[in-house]
Chains A and B, each alone.
Chain A
Amino acid sequence: MARTSSRPLSPHLTIWKWGPHMLISILHRITGNGLALVGAMGLVWWLMAAAMGPEAYATFVACATHPLGYVVMIGLTWSFFQHLFSGLRHFVLDMGAGYELNTNRMWSIAATVAAVLVTGFVWLFIFAENF
């Protein structure tokens, strides 16, 4: 991009006070790309392991049920629901609704809290069933 380096840039990222709408926006990007790399590769690994046979599947299960495997799976669950709720927020904003300051703030907080709650419910259910 052509620009004269002696002239200052607008300090657009550094001058704003953080708010829930900024948090949910950057979380949408982080969780989306996290799901795209870690989640999608994990999914294909699971399917490939099942297609290859019992031994490959056992290797997958051993990794997935390692403590780090649980950290990754819980992280993916949260990422999915965070991205899902902020994605629904995108749909509302796409229709031109929800831009009033208070409404925007309220839904940003609600989506972030909902993602944590649903993730908690899912894993409580899993641990209650299995341990």
Chain B
Amino acid sequence: MGNGTGIGRVRGLGSARHGAHHWLAQRYTAVGNLLLVLWLIFSLLTMPGLDYESVVGWIANPLVAVPMMLMIVSIFWHLRLGMQVMLEDYVHDKGLAFLSMLLLNFYAIGGAAAGIFAIAKIAFMGAVE
């Protein structure tokens, strides 16, 4: 482990002084997930139908599209932070640890971009004939 020396920090060992921010952001996004995913579940349960037309019509409403985009950001940010902690616990090899963080970042940012793009396309262009 790093002993707090300059070279230790350069090698990514020891404190990067990001711990408290990481921990807090995990909690902020947890509250975001709590509210927004409960809202999604409740909406899906009370919608008249989950067929293509109903779902696209529903998402196209700005009061749905915006919370849905926020939900995507909150979920992917939270899972980006959470999976990092899990990987740090189990992946000990330096090279694999680097690779796993690389893939996690691709997954989190790519997944969030795909989700937001899909919502935006539905909101701006409506149903596909």
A interface with B by C-beta (< 8 Å) = 1, 29, 32-33, 35-36, 40-41, 43-44, 47-48, 50-54, 57-58, 61, 77, 80, 84, 87, 90-91, 94, 122, 125-126
Contact = CB atoms under 8 A, between A and B. Distances in A.
B63 interface: no
Nearest to B79: A36
Given A29-B86, A44-B115, A87-B34, A52 B128 contact: yes
Contacts of B119: 47, 51
A58 B52 contact: yes
Contacts of B68: 47
Contacts of A32: 79, 82, 86
A125 B45 contact: yes
A40 B34 contact: no
Given A57-B52, A87-B34, A36 B82 contact: yes
Contact of B111 (A33, A41, A80, A91): A41
A32 B78 CA distance: 10
Given A32-B82, A57-B55, A126-B45, A84 B117 contact: no
B111 A51 contact: no
A51 B52 contact: no
- Residue of A1, A32, A90 with highest tally of chain B CB at under 10 A: A32
Given A32-B86, A40-B75, A50-B59, 7 more contacts: A43-B75, A43-B115, A44-B114, A51-B122, A77-B41, A91-B27, A91-B30
